[in-house]
Amino acid sequence: MQISAFFGGAFFLSLIINTFFLRFAKTLGIRNKNHLEIRWSNISKPSLGGISFYISYLMSFMFYAIIFGQQDVFQNKELLGLFFSISLAFLLGLSDDAYDTRPMLKLATQLLCGVLLIITDNEIQLFGSDLVNYAVTIIWVIGVMNSINMLDNMDGIASIATIFIILVMLGISLPFYFLNNVEFFLLISILGSLVSFLLFNWNLSKMFMGDSGSQFLGMFIAYFSIKLLWNNGIEAGDYSIFTNMTLVAITFSIPIIDTTFVTIRRIANGQSPMIGGKDHTTHTLVYKGLNDRQVAFVFVILGLVSSLLALNIAKFIPHDSLVLILIWIYLNFLLVTAFKLVPKEKNKF
């Protein structure tokens, strides 16, 4: 009942917010209306999704405190670390939607988000050295925030990928004490908000999530992936570095493969990976003859497969299983296939 209430509340709140802003804020988040060369869509649309995500997050945060007790929320150091880092990420994205934030300022802010997690005891704990754990935490936070931002290049894609990532983390947490934890309900609420936003973001979309949305979601799933994927089984002493890294890789396979694909192509062509372009895995599928909606369905299938594999790794596959190696082979197969699909005239290396 409580789960349905948080999901439904976030769904309808997001629906109301997006409908309202879509009607009264037609130009919010639209920059350089006459310079659309790096945008896949040739129609200017407002970037509103991040606002509904953040408001849904705040409302869920407050309602949980009211219903279950403020001590679980406002005296929770780790949760306050999430609150401040995710607020900073949202503000960074909101600023980028309104202005063209300088790349170094953006990177510095993402770095600060990672540092905030570390000082509030939200770091990766998988490795034997604290310095390694801290370094990997910061790299992971920056990487995820940028990969979700890069994946937001076609209608529905970033939303689809994030929905499946959240579903994996919910599936992993369901059998345990986490069910009665504020963080579980935050996952449920953002899932509801994302599903609602997808109604506006599905091809043909009425709005984009913008940097406020992608930065928020990147920080949000980076935090929960640390707790539920990177650190999976550590408290119980039932973990393996190779297993946990495989769990992370398959859960985040869509953003990891797309970011790796784009980065390799751009560096090989003498371009900066930080500059936008129409050279993502999504665009490659369009160049091969699929339309935008068909590409979205391809990513739904990939997300479903990755989710099922991730849940099996977390629950049923032994640490020394050959299946883990097969999953890495599968991930490399997807990356190689993406390169194979690049039309010759668009592949300069």
- Region 104-116 average pLDDT: 94
Residues ≥6 apart with Cβ < 8 Å to 72: 64, 65, 182
Three-state secondary structure of the chain? CHHHHHHHHHHHHHHHHHHHHHHHCCCCCCCCCCCCCCCCCCCCCCECHHHHHHHHHHHHHHHHHHHHCCHHHHCCHHHHHHHHHHHHHHHHHHHHHHCCCCHHHHHHHHHHHHHHHHHCCCCCCCCCCHHHHHHHHHHHHHHHHHHHHHHCCCCCHHHHHHHHHHHHHHHHHCCCHHHHCHHHHHHHHHHHHHHHHHHHHCCCCCCECHHHHHHHHHHHHHHHHHHHHHCCCCCCCCCCHHHHHHHHHHHCHHHHHHHHHHHHHHHHCCCCCCCCCCCCHHHHHHHCCCCHHHHHHHHHHHHHHHHHHHHHHHHCCCCCCHHHHHHHHHHHHHHHHHHHCCCHHHCCC
pLDDT of residue 347: 55
Residue 164 has pLDDT above 90, yes or no: yes
pLDDT in tens, 58-103: 998 888 777 766 666 677 888 889 999 999 999 999 888 877 778 8
pLDDT in tens, 192-250: 999 999 999 998 878 888 899 999 999 999 999 999 999 998 988 889 999 999 999 99
User: Tokens 């409908």 appear where?
Assistant: 19
Domain ranges of the chain: 2-346
Residue 38 has pLDDT above 50, yes or no: no
Total-model pTM: 0.91
pLDDT of residue 203: 83
pLDDT in tens, 268-286: 888 877 777 788 999 999 9
As a whole-number percent, the residues of the chain with pLDDT over 90 amount to: 56
pLDDT of residue 70: 61
